[in-house]
Amino acid sequence: MLEKQIEKVVCDYARAKGFLAYKFTSPMRAAVPDRLFISPAGYMWFCEFKREGQKPTPAQTREHLRLLAQAVTVHVIDNVEAGKRMVDRYAPSI
């Protein structure tokens, strides 16, 4: 499955559960994660989507480490099931 297909399914799943899923870009900063997710409970994290089996590029890894050093959560997702688990992890208990 292509990266954009995984991203679409996971974002649609998140939105159906009340999450915000913003496409993230940063002017003058390359290799930032693809999406910023915000849960209904106010949790925020970044997600880098990859094609199944692919890993982040060295530049993406450096950017993820910069974010992690600031106590920001970054997930790397390469399949739909892992993406749904990521969303469910932050879903409010009902």
Could you read off the pLDDT of 16-53 as tens digits, one per residue? 999 999 999 999 889 999 999 999 999 999 999 999 99
pTM attached to this predicted model: 0.93
Rounded to an integer, what distance in angstroms lies between the CA atom of residue 4 and that of residue 9? 9
Each domain of the chain, given as residue ranges in start order, spans 3-90
The CA-CA-CA angle for residues 90, 40, 48, to 5°, reads: 50
Q: For 49-84, what is each residue's pLDDT tens digit?
A: 999 999 999 999 999 999 999 999 999 999 999 999
User: Does residue 32 contact residue 65 with C-beta atoms inside 8 Å?
Assistant: no
In degrees and rounded to multiples of 5, residue 83 shows phi and psi of: -65, -40
- In whole angstroms, what is the distance from residue 12 CA to residue 66 CA? 28
pLDDT on residue 49: 98
- In whole angstroms, what is the distance from residue 50 CA to residue 40 CA? 25
- Tell whether domain 3-90 is in CATH 1.10.645.10: no
What pLDDT is attached to residue 92? 75
